[in-house]
Amino acid sequence: MPSSLLIILLFLLSISLSSAQTYNILSYGAKPDGKTDSTKALTVMWAKACASVKPVTILIPKGRFLLRSIVFDGAKCKRKSVTFRIKGTLVAPSDYRVLGKENYWIFFQHLDSLSVYGGVLDAQGASLWSCKKSGKHCPSGATSIGFQSSSNVVISGLTSLNSQMFHVVINGCRNVNIQGVKVSADGNSPNTDGIHVQSSSTVSILNSKISTGDDCVSVGPGTNGLWIENVACGPGHGISIGSLGKESVEAGVQNVTVKTATFTGTENGVRIKSWARPSNGFAKNIRFQHCVMNNVQNPIVIDQNYCPGNENCPNQVSGIKISDVIFFDIHGTSAREVGVKFDCSSKKPCTGIRIQDVKLTYQNKPAVVDCSHAGGTETGFQRSNSCL
């Protein structure tokens, strides 16, 4: 075979292999009526896509698709690169018991270069919230969407509604970009954290709006390199690092920046919290900057005496070491007299705390500051009393 012809054939083969192959859920029997179970169709489609040697795009068109719990595991896929384009709505069964004992409703793992664009996830979690509030025996509930042991992940334009538990979880992942995400649940919905990150590195959360009944963003152990910018939070419990120190041996949290965030009517603003019990964990190199507080109950908090229900931690102190934390250009209104509270560990006091250009008011007067076992510096800090 002439060498020129061989080159052309190889070129055409490379184009064929590199061109994406699209799979449409409608072609596998799914119906966009919100009533017909699409789980089997999506499972069969995933098996086909997983076997493809080409880049894969999975398309979920407009309409409502009923979906039970599903796992997208890339461990045995020929290519780890997958794009999900969701133009419609994935809706969970209305009976919370169908998903209630599952860890996740939709779960991705062992993938590289995974992208999820658009779409609405409607978990219909309100009935489970009601069950929990009634004091009855209820399942914990499923996280709406989770990503684990994956790298180079993009989540863009996704909307998560009324999750049973957490809305979005990033666990054990590397290089994750979350942008333009909307999270919505009732302000009284229990344990419905908006975005939870743990054991992951190089994660960004940008240009997102989170309204929920628990933390807007929660940061768990083992997080290194988290950037949060231009996030609107409220209702909710704010942006929280922790709770940390639940385990005696635990990976630390480091290199976290929260920038240009707005908190409206939230229980907390920016917070670091740890259990009041022994642990070798830590939180260091944390930056909270350019934040606006609108009628926030606890705008700035370090709480190292977290002990819910006074179980497994009374009369103990936190072993978590908190250091090198900057609060810069944070202003607005506190819903309570105390606007800044640092309740640090007596065993391992907070060090390297820096407060700069913080101006918080309560009823048109400078908010009160309450500090225990905290050391650092303060400049340009409008306050009614001294702190560091």
Please compute the mean of the pLDDT values over residues 309-338 and round it to a whole number.
Answer: 94
List 167, 196, 237, 373, catalytic entry: 237
Burial annotation 161-182 (CB, 10 A radius, 16+ → b, else e): bbbbbbbbbbbebbbbbbbebb
268 pLDDT band (50/70/90 cuts)?
very high
Please compute the mean of the pLDDT values over residues 344-367 and round it to a whole number.
Answer: 96
pLDDT value for 281: 97
What is the 8-class DSSP label of residue 297? S
- The answer on pLDDT for 11 being more than 70 is no
Q: What token pair was written down for 377?
A: 């510096």
116 pLDDT band (50/70/90 cuts)?
very high
pLDDT value for 237: 98
pLDDT value for 87: 98
- The answer on pLDDT for 163 being more than 50 is yes
Q: How far apart are CA 124 and CA 130, in angstroms?
A: 12
pLDDT value for 184: 98
The H or E element containing residue 18 is helix 3-18
Judge contact between 317 and 349, C-beta under 8 A.
Answer: no
Instruction: Write out pLDDT tens, residues 290-323.
Output: 999 999 999 999 999 999 888 888 789 999 999 9
pLDDT value for 20: 75
Position with higher pLDDT, 383 vs 23: 23
224 pLDDT band (50/70/90 cuts)?
very high
Burial annotation 349-366 (CB, 10 A radius, 16+ → b, else e): bbbbbebebbbbbbeeeb
Q: Return the C-alpha torsion angle 92, 96, 97, 100, nearest 10.
A: 80
Q: How far apart are CA 123 and CA 106, in angstroms?
A: 10
Please compute the mean of the pLDDT values over residues 174-190 and round it to a whole number.
Answer: 98
Position with higher pLDDT, 136 vs 264: 264
pLDDT value for 314: 77
Burial tier of 227 (Cβ tally within 10 Å: 0-12, 13-18, 19+): middle
Which of 4-18, 54-68, 69-83, 198-212 bottoms out in mean pLDDT, i.e. has the lowest? 4-18
Please compute the mean of the pLDDT values over residues 166-189 and round it to a whole number.
Answer: 98
Please compute the mean of the pLDDT values over residues 214-218 and round it to a whole number.
Answer: 98
Instruction: Indicate if 237 belongs to the active site.
Output: yes
Q: How far apart are CA 25 and CA 46, in angstroms?
A: 10
In the chain, pLDDT over 70 holds for what percent of residues?
94
Position with higher pLDDT, 367 vs 10: 367
Judge contact between 165 and 142, C-beta under 8 A.
Answer: yes
383 pLDDT band (50/70/90 cuts)?
low
Q: How far apart are CA 289 and CA 55, in angstroms?
A: 40
Instruction: Write out pLDDT tens, residues 35-77.
Output: 999 999 999 999 999 999 999 999 999 999 999 999 999 999 9
Please compute the mean of the pLDDT values over residues 169-178 and round it to a whole number.
Answer: 98
Instruction: Write out pLDDT tens, residues 94-108.
Output: 999 999 999 999 999
- The answer on pLDDT for 9 being more than 90 is no
Residue with tokens 């779409």, as numbered in its chain: 119
Position with higher pLDDT, 8 vs 184: 184
pLDDT value for 387: 77
- The answer on pLDDT for 18 being more than 70 is no
Domains of the chain: 17-131+139-181 (2.160.20.10), 215-387 (2.160.20.10)
Count CA atoms within 13 Å of residue 30 on its CB side: 30
Instruction: Give this prediction's pTM.
Output: 0.94
- The answer on pLDDT for 80 being more than 90 is no
- Strand spans (E) along 39-100: 56-60, 64-66, 70-73, 82-86, 89-91
Q: What token pair was written down for 102?
A: 């599952």
pLDDT value for 384: 62
